[in-house]
Amino acid sequence: MASPESPTPSCAADGAWDRLSSLEFAAQGKIAIQLVPFEQPFRDAYEAGVIVPVLRAGRSPAVDVRVAALFHKRMLSDLRGVWLMLCTGYTSQAASIAASLYESALAATCLTISSANAAKLLQQPEGEIPWKITEMAQMVIAAEGKTAGADYENQWRALYAHYVWLCQIKHASSQSVVHDTIGTALEKGYVVMALPNVRDEDMPIKAMVAIISLHRALDGIAAFAKALGFTDPLPDDYRFAERYGRARDLAWKAFEPYLKVKSSIGIERSRFTRRNPPV
């Protein structure tokens, strides 16, 4: 033990917090190149989401969207949060925010389906969403006209499976924490510290987080427009339809290179997948 007169021994942790800012700034340069294909769809999706609440169909909305708008706003904040975390190299944190985005997007969509849904939420004494995530996934698929049969069962399960995958990361499964170590890997072992993950091996995970976030946000935006009285084709006021359509197209094109890449994080062994196999 050092005597009161002797200086405190230095260690690698000294100044580590301050060095992170420099490391994050440096990482953003490489990650920006990796994420170039996703930048435009994130931009367009966000801007379409900002536009949709101010669209007017020339008649009264089919549903009062004021309650849904609260969750829509949270979804847009989450979309920005996902992008910032991806760009900084904190992929697991991006996935955690994406799980929140998923919840907010599904809640907003369910609240645009009927006024009764909005009334049910307002009646909750705790102010909590009155449906489980599985129930919201089922409600969303049912609103698309599928209420029974193999098609309905497989579609709501596929929709919910995206949330299950995000939660494998959000709740720190063994798969996700082991994957995280590649960001600080050494020749032997890894360093226990926070560090932006700039490795190419992390891009399939970044891409999956991005595409799930974009799809959920865009589906929520389309549901909001429908509640306002718009059907196909979507209106192009303020270039809304242009932004929305481009985000859809470019999001999928950005993700296509990763379609056949085996992910280090999967849900094959999750309880949900075992209990709910495809019909």
pLDDT digits (tens, 9 = 90+) for 105-133: 999 999 999 999 999 999 999 889 999 99
Q: Please say whether the beta carbons of 137 and 252 come within 8 A.
A: no
Band of pLDDT at residue 6, cut at 50, 70 and 90: low
Which among 61, 47, 24 has a CA at the least distance from the CA of 228? 61
Alpha-carbon dihedral sign for residues 226, 231, 237, 239:
positive
CA distance 63 to 70: 14
Position with higher pLDDT, 173 vs 279: 173
pLDDT of residue 7: 67
pLDDT digits (tens, 9 = 90+) for 15-44: 999 999 999 999 999 999 999 999 999 999
Q: Please say whether the beta carbons of 130 and 124 come within 8 A.
A: yes
pLDDT at 5 over 80: no
- pTM comes to 0.92
Give me the residue spans of the domains in the chain. 25-275
pLDDT of residue 2: 53
Band of pLDDT at residue 270, cut at 50, 70 and 90: confident
pLDDT digits (tens, 9 = 90+) for 200-259: 999 999 999 999 999 999 999 999 999 998 988 898 999 999 999 999 999 999 999 999
> Can the peptide bond before residue 9 be classed as cis, meaning omega within 30 degrees of 0?
no
pLDDT digits (tens, 9 = 90+) for 84-97: 999 999 999 999 99
pLDDT at 3 over 70: no
CA distance 224 to 189: 49
pLDDT digits (tens, 9 = 90+) for 159-203: 999 999 999 999 988 888 988 888 888 878 888 989 999 999 999
CA distance 72 to 46: 11
pLDDT of residue 139: 95
Q: What SS3 state is found at 185?
A: strand
